[in-house]
């Protein structure tokens, strides 16, 4: 179990509280328009998102990881190359849909944080889409298994994730319902389903 600020006694307790607290913080991000003045596509903005979501739970919130991590058989960017990899990704262009998706895939390969990468990076992706294309992803339209498989394959071939994201784009960039459903779906992808975001006030 990860070291945490809430003195959770079990992984299950930690997961529940992490979901509850960080979903409340996600609502705050939206309602207070906290990303309005942030530079889209920057590492600093991603770190800010991560810190906002998880600062009440983890000591490492908003900090670049210092350990190697893997999911299944896939190893994310090694720590010794992580700083340079992140600089390279940050400098990638993001003017077109295809450029934005490519940047998102590369940031996922970096996986800069110890925990919470997917949830923070999907908000970061939406911020890029919103800034550059005046669109956001309606994540509730993307099936969990389709998404996870597409992301697993994306380091080799990003066509699948591109199709999923393109088909789920909407111009409802200020729509609270789209955002809330999106956060719940994003958490569902990672196995967090104890709370409906609408009930967390």
Q: Tell whether 152 is covered by a domain.
A: yes
Task: Write down the pLDDT at residue 141.
Answer: 98
Check: pTM over 0.85? Answer yes or no.
Answer: yes
Mean pLDDT of the chain: 96
Three-state SS annotation for the chain: CCCCCCCCCCHHHHHHHHHHHHHHHHHHHHHCCCCCCCCCCCHHHHHHHHHHHHCCCCCCCCCCCCCCCEECCEECCCHHHHHHHHHHHHCCCCCCHHHHHHHHHHHHHHCCCCCCHHHHHHHHHHHHHHHHHCCEECHHHCCHHHHHHHHHHCCCCCHHHHHHHHHCEECCCCCHHHHHHHHHHHHHHCCCCCCCHHHCC
Residue 14 pLDDT level (bands cut at 50, 70, 90): very high
Mean predicted confidence (pLDDT) in 36-40: 97
Q: Tell whether 40 is covered by a domain.
A: yes
Q: Tell whether 91 is covered by a domain.
A: no
Task: Write down the pLDDT at residue 68.
Answer: 96
Say which CATH number the domain at 125 has.
1.10.3290.10
Residue 198 pLDDT level (bands cut at 50, 70, 90): confident
Q: Tell whether 45 is covered by a domain.
A: yes
Domain residues for the domain of 179 are 11-66+97-191
Q: Tell whether 78 is covered by a domain.
A: no
Q: Tell whether 26 is covered by a domain.
A: yes
Residue 199 confidence (pLDDT) above 90: no
Task: Write down the pLDDT at residue 111.
Answer: 97
Q: Tell whether 177 is covered by a domain.
A: yes
Mean predicted confidence (pLDDT) in 155-161: 96
Q: How many folded domains does the chain comprise?
A: 1
Q: Tell whether 55 is covered by a domain.
A: yes
């Amino acid at each position: 179990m990860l070291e945490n600020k809430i003195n959770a006694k079990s992984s299950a307790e930690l997961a529940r509280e992490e979901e509850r607290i960080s979903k409340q913080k996600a609502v705050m991000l939206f309602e207070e328009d906290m990303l309005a003045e942030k530079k889209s596509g920057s590492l600093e903005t991603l770190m800010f998102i991560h810190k906002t979501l998880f600062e009440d739970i983890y000591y490492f919130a908003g900090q670049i990881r210092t350990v190697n991590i893997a999911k299944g058989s896939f190893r994310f960017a090694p720590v010794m190359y992580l700083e340079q990899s992140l600089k390279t990704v940050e400098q990638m262009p993001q003017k077109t849909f295809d450029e934005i998706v490519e940047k998102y895939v590369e940031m996922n390969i970096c996986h800069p944080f110890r925990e919470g990468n997917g949830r923070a990076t999907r908000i970061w992706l939406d911020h890029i889409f919103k800034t550059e294309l005046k669109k956001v992803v309606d994540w509730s339209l993307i099936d969990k298994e389709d998404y996870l498989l597409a992301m697993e394959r994306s380091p080799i071939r990003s066509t699948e994730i591109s199709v999923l994201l393109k088909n789920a784009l909407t111009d409802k960039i200020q729509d609270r319902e789209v955002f809330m459903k999106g956060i719940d779906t994003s958490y569902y992808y990672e196995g967090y389903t104890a709370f409906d975001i609408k009930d967390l006030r």
